[in-house]
Amino acid sequence: MPKPSARSAAAPASPIRRLYPLSVEAKRRGKKVYHLNIGQPDISTPAAFMRGVREAKVEVLDYAPSPGIPEALEALVRYYGECGLPVAREEILITVGGSEGITFALTIACDPGDQVLVPEPFYPNYLGYARLTNVEIVPITTSRDDGFHLPPRAEIEALIGPRTKAILFSHPGNPTGVVYTKAEMEMLVDIALKNDLFIISDEVYREFVYDGKHTSLLTFPEVRDRAILVDSISKRLSACGARIGALISHNKDVMTAATKCATIRLSAPTFEQLGLAAFMADPGHRSVVEEMIGEYQRRRDLFCRELLDIPGVTFRVPEGAFYVMMGLPVEDSEAFVRWMLTDYPGQETVMLSPGAGFYVTPGLGKDEARAAYVLQTAHLRRACAVLADGLSMFNRALAGEAVGERG
Amino acid sequence: MPKPSARSAAAPASPIRRLYPLSVEAKRRGKKVYHLNIGQPDISTPAAFMRGVREAKVEVLDYAPSPGIPEALEALVRYYGECGLPVAREEILITVGGSEGITFALTIACDPGDQVLVPEPFYPNYLGYARLTNVEIVPITTSRDDGFHLPPRAEIEALIGPRTKAILFSHPGNPTGVVYTKAEMEMLVDIALKNDLFIISDEVYREFVYDGKHTSLLTFPEVRDRAILVDSISKRLSACGARIGALISHNKDVMTAATKCATIRLSAPTFEQLGLAAFMADPGHRSVVEEMIGEYQRRRDLFCRELLDIPGVTFRVPEGAFYVMMGLPVEDSEAFVRWMLTDYPGQETVMLSPGAGFYVTPGLGKDEARAAYVLQTAHLRRACAVLADGLSMFNRALAGEAVGERG
């Protein structure tokens, strides 16, 4: 019997996929699990979006135009205009989520075997998109001590070789929450310029900025021809299941190539595009997003305050997104996350994402974990109490075992 | 400025993409264009599907499970059961249209540089999926004279080399309308078995069979481990814009690999999956499809009868799908299609798909064109009259030019 290809067998299996069944099992045993492991907002999808779906006038659900439905493209033109990022309709392509946007961007920037630089730790699915497009990720390692800000320019440029075609980063960062300073963005832009690289910015958390200011890649005229923006309504509309994202470029050749990619897969889903159009047509749309960001700011502030009180937990307060990548006072965070699901006593427990899954450099992130503060504040407070208790109990249990082994 | 990758620049540009702007222009001039060039049904999407979308109880539009929403998977289990093809829920993965299903199947069957055999003429997007997954299509050439049925086994096996990993075909066929006999399916199955290949059957037109009987790949127990079925609700539910398809395999390793591919892109769109679930829950769902197939049978019968009356048009009546791949009494069908859009006088015209776009073997299909009989019968009748008139006028014009040149 034929075997699946090496590439599909080698697709990354993140620790979360190994741990997920344990959380299901814990819930079957009646446990309340605080899921800090997934970046899935709990906030209601805006009513105007839902209305757009429900009231869509569709008689024959035919293929939507491959680059996007005109009303949805116009909605995005308006959106970027409101963000101070003027973009023309033909510079936007609607994608099936940010996922497809990254896949298209890698396909366009790289031929098979080419390389792309990515600050590490990074969103683990990047590795999946890279594997499926036969692109190699070369990590720019960043550290918790620096709040995951970028290393000096020379360190980044030392990684560039003849097959390097692009720099890709998420900004604000998942899993780091980092928001790069203007100076950092200028450095990345200049590196791309001097080394003839594409520069791909995944800005799906654009609005989720609590300290400082987000500098979009689109504000740099010097890389107008080499900038590719990837975006999604998943987070800002609390609509992860809509599968509506966008790829944006001022480079005509890039848009031609992107349109070819889009034509091959025919179209993005219709109802959700109409939902986006209805949302942007709603005069209250900006305040809906602002209110949500206010809620996340409260969550971040509370969550970080509570984390500060847990002995041995180390982190710098992240400026954006809705994640904290923290150091835990354990040697192996995956073992701890597992223990919390299988052995931690009581009626509640907490699930985190083990840090190693966000790195490609072997050995890094083993004592780290990512928490997504996507729960309401009362639950975040309880989750932190459980986490504190769990860490102390886990370390006592380990110490006890060590004593036992010695005896 | 960096250039898009060779692979994205090399993505196929089908003749239809070149001709499409001319049809827009013709309509701007006030012409009625009978679009026989696209496989986009004009029949209303079933009310039960639409109700499922409109009445979906969704508060937070979160990521759907990557392999599919349980209700939608159960709906497909029921559907295949009704088709006499017993499939378990864990043997189905919901994809973003049949497009994603083919992409996943090629990714799983082939490593970059591997080959897949495909009967030619074939659906042009296959070439796009192959380019983007770095797979080479090796054509099994079939001919109009044989109604596009398969050549002898020896001819097919002569194409198999060390990098051949799979046979892929659409069945019923697009653009040919061919429905393979049981003996042909047995031959393909045995070739896959003896040469250790995957066998990938794209059965999105399963119900669209007017003569003979469709033999699904899933009815052959001997290739249980190497069969991959690709499917879609686009045609049978007249819901091309839903972007809901499926990949089905009894091979656990294939499903594991497919699930990895699916996890990387997170999920298929939610509302349309709920629409599918609602459609299958409707007790009248089978008669809705049967009624639609009855309508297509009438269209095929009428369209083929009218075509028979056009001098020089040659074809064998196709057994299934909703296409006729015909020979035209012209040397270059693309030139004719172009002329019909730019020069044909009067208030109406017809658009066909030039045949060469369905072949990879150079020179083949130049005198052929594909027509999709997806219009109501009155329009099909008019379209045939216009086509007959156009062909005769085009050939007279050419002859006149030739005389002019000689003179």
Q: Is residue A11 over pLDDT 80?
A: no
Residues in A touching B271 (Cβ below 8 Å) = 53, 269, 271-272
Same domain, B133 and B167: yes
Tell me how far CA of residue B195 lies from CA of B75, B92, B199, B313, in angstroms.
35, 26, 11, 39
A50 and B58 within 8 Å at the Cβ level: the answer is: yes
Residue B52 lies in a domain: no
Give the span between the Cα atoms of A32 and B209, in whole angstroms: 52
CB B212 within 8 A of CB B179: yes
The answer as to whether A49 is a domain residue is no
CB contact under 8 A, B261 and A132: yes
Query: Do both B186 and B247 map to the same domain?
Result: yes
Rounded-to-10 torsion of CA A35, A39, A41, A45? -140
Same domain, A272 and A300: no
Q: CB distance B240–A61 less than 8 Å?
A: yes
- The alpha-carbon gap from A400 to the nearest alpha carbon of chain B, in Å, equals 39
Residue with tokens 């006072």, as numbered in its chain: A329
| pLDDT > 90? residue B2 | no
Largest CA distance in chain A: 76
Find, in chain B, the residue whose alpha carbon is nearest to that of A196. B2
Q: How far is B28 from chain A (nearest CA, A)?
A: 18
CB contact under 8 Å between A64 and B241, yes or no, is: yes
For the stretch A266-297, pLDDT in tens is 999 999 999 999 999 999 999 999 999 999 99
Question: What does the pLDDT read at residue A303?
Answer: 97
Among B189, B252, B271, pick the best mutation site for testing chain A contact (most A Cβ within 10 A).
B271
Q: How many domains does chain A have?
A: 2
pLDDT at residue B169, rounded to an integer: 98
Between chains, do B257 and A61 touch, taking CB under 8 Å as contact? no
> Count of H helices and E strands in chain A?
13, 12
Whether residue B407 is predicted with pLDDT greater than 50 in this model: the reply is: no
A29 and A177 part of one domain: no
Q: In chain A, which residues have their Cβ closer than 8 Å to the Cβ of B112?
A: 7, 112, 134
Nearest beta carbon to residue B239 from set A41, A61, A226 = A61
Instruction: Encode pLDDT of A108-153 as tens digits.
Output: 999 999 999 999 999 999 999 998 899 999 999 999 999 999 999 9
Do A260 and B42 count as a contact with CB atoms less than 8 A apart?
no
CATH number at residue A21: 3.90.1150.10
Q: Which residues of A fall within a CB distance of 8 Å from B254?
A: 4
The domain boundary residue, chosen from B281, B308, B337: B281
pLDDT class of A398 with cuts at 50, 70, 90: confident
Section B95-118 average pLDDT: 96
CA-based end-to-end distance of chain B = 52
Minimum mean pLDDT range among A5-9, A255-259, B30-34, B344-348: A5-9
Same domain, A249 and A132: yes
Six-digit token string for B37: 């060039």
* pTM across the whole model: 0.94
Quickly state the pLDDT bin for A407 (edges 50, 70, 90).
Answer: very low
A11 falls within a domain = yes
> Which residues in chain A are closer than 8 Å to B61, comparing Cβ atoms?
45, 49-50, 238-242
Residue pair B244/B280 in contact (Cβ under 8 Å)? The answer is no
Q: Are residues B112 and B92 in the same domain?
A: yes
Q: Do B260 and A100 touch (CB under 8 A)?
A: no
* Burial (CB count <10 Å: 0-12, 13-18, 19+), residue B6: exposed
SS3 A325: strand
- Is there a contact between B61 and A107 if contact means CB atoms under 8 Å apart? no
Decide if B198 and A2 are in contact by the 8 Å CB cutoff.
yes
In a domain, A261, yes or no: yes
Q: Domain end: A261, A281, A301, which one?
A: A281
Q: How many CB pairs under 8 A join A and B?
A: 224
Whether residue B269 is contained in a domain is answered as: yes
Q: What is the mean pLDDT of residues B93-121?
A: 97
Residues A240, B4: C-beta atoms closer than 8 Å:
no
Domain that holds residue B141: 59-281
Q: Which two tokens stand for residue B142?
A: 């079939």
The pLDDT tens digits for B42-65 are: 899 999 999 999 999 999 999 999
Residue B54: inside a domain: no
pLDDT of A365 higher than 70:
yes
Q: Are residues A254 and A313 in the same domain?
A: no
Q: What are phi and psi of A149, to 5 degrees?
A: -75, 170
A136 found inside a domain: yes
The pLDDT score that the predictor gives to residue B403 is: 56
Interface pTM, i.e. ipTM: 0.92
- Is B8 in contact with A107 (Cβ distance < 8 A)? yes
Domain co-membership, A26 together with A154? no
Examine the domain organization and report whether B141 and B33 are in the same domain: no
Q: Residue A209 pLDDT more than 50?
A: yes
Q: Which of A8, A254, A258 sits opposite B260 (nearest CB)?
A: A8
Burial of A345 (0-12, 13-18, 19+ CB in 10 A): exposed
Question: Where does a domain end: B281, B303, B325?
Answer: B281
Q: Tell me whether residues B60 and A50 touch, CB distance under 8 A.
A: no
- Measured in angstroms, the CA of B325 and the nearest CA of chain A are apart by 21
Mean pLDDT along residues A205-212 = 95
Which string of DSSP letters, residue by residue, matches A280-295? HHSTTHHHHHHHHHHH
pLDDT of A3 > 90? The answer is no
- pLDDT score of B338 more than 90: yes
Residue B407 lies in a domain: no
* Burial zone of A340 (CB within 10 Å; 0-12 exposed, 13-18 middle, 19+ buried): buried
- B-chain residues near A257 (CB < 8 A): 4-5, 8-9, 11
DSSP string, A178-224: ----HHHHHHHHHHHHHTT-EEEEE-TTTT-B-SS----GGG-GGGT
CA distance linking residue B331 with residue B341, whole number of Å: 17
CATH number at residue B225: 3.40.640.10
φ, ψ of residue B349 in degrees (nearest 5): -155, 180
The answer to whether residues B294 and B262 belong to one domain is: no
Q: Are residues B257 and B303 in the same domain?
A: no
Q: Are residues A158 and A204 in the same domain?
A: yes
pLDDT score of A9: 74
Q: Which residues of A touch B44 (CB under 8 A)?
A: 59-60
Residue from B127, B141, B212 nearest B172 by CA: B212
